Amino acid sequence: MQEAKHFSSAELELSVEHILAAPKNDGELHLIVKRPEVDGRENLQQARLDIDQGLVGDNWRARGSRHTPDGAADPEMQLNIMSSRVVQSIAGSENRWALAGDQLYVDMDLSPENLPPGTRLQLGEAVIEITEPPHTGCKKFAERYGVDAMVFVNTGRGKQCNFRGVCAKVVTSGDIRVGDVARKLS
């Protein structure tokens, strides 16, 4: 089996203009990923977002969080959302997108200027809210995509524009499907 290519900093920089041109509103949902267990991934065409469970069938609640005093799941980190333009740049092939570990991949500007914490998005029948906790690349991210990719998303412009993605929570339960539009609510 051929090892996946890790893109260099110079190669990643070539994608910045494309990433920054992402829609500010009405971004298309390109991929839904359920993580039934640690390192497990299931690409879905449709899913249910639930106020209590997050993405139904995902291990968010069972996995817990090192960010809470009791190790329970952090309700402010119920969902992880990544720009499909960023993951395309770092992963190359779409069959490697899910390795990033996020549940939702959307073609949308995820910068704090466009989606500050508290912003609500209609996605299919569900409504989600962008939350405050930062979403950063980790050791597994670097192993899967390379150190240059981790630096690309976690520093400088990548950090300022949330290239690694954002955290969110479900505020209205509902069904979502690949192809749904993420629309900012006022």
* pLDDT number for residue 138: 79
In a domain, 153, yes or no: yes
User: pLDDT of 28-50, one tens digit each?
Assistant: 999 999 999 888 999 999 999 99
User: pLDDT of 106-132, one tens digit each?
Assistant: 999 999 999 999 999 999 999 999 999
In a domain, 1, yes or no: no
Chain mean pLDDT for the chain: 94
The one-letter amino acid code at 161 reads C
User: pLDDT of 147-172, one tens digit each?
Assistant: 999 999 999 999 999 999 999 999 99
In a domain, 2, yes or no: no
The structure's pTM equals 0.94
In a domain, 139, yes or no: yes
The one-letter amino acid code at 130 reads I
In a domain, 154, yes or no: yes
Total domains, the chain: 1
In a domain, 59, yes or no: yes
Query: What are the tokens at 91?
Result: 């992963």
Residue 79 belongs to a domain with what CATH number?
2.40.33.20
pLDDT band at 3 (very low <50, low <70, confident <90, very high): low
Give the residue numbers spanning the domain of 158. Answer: 9-185
In a domain, 3, yes or no: no
The residues, ordered by sequence, that sit 6+ positions from 3 with a Cβ below 8 Å of its Cβ are none
What sign does the dihedral 87-92-94-95 (CA atoms) show?
A: negative
Q: How many angstroms separate the CA atoms of 27 and 149, rounded?
A: 23
If you compute the radius of gyration of the chain from its CA atoms, what whole number of angstroms results? 15
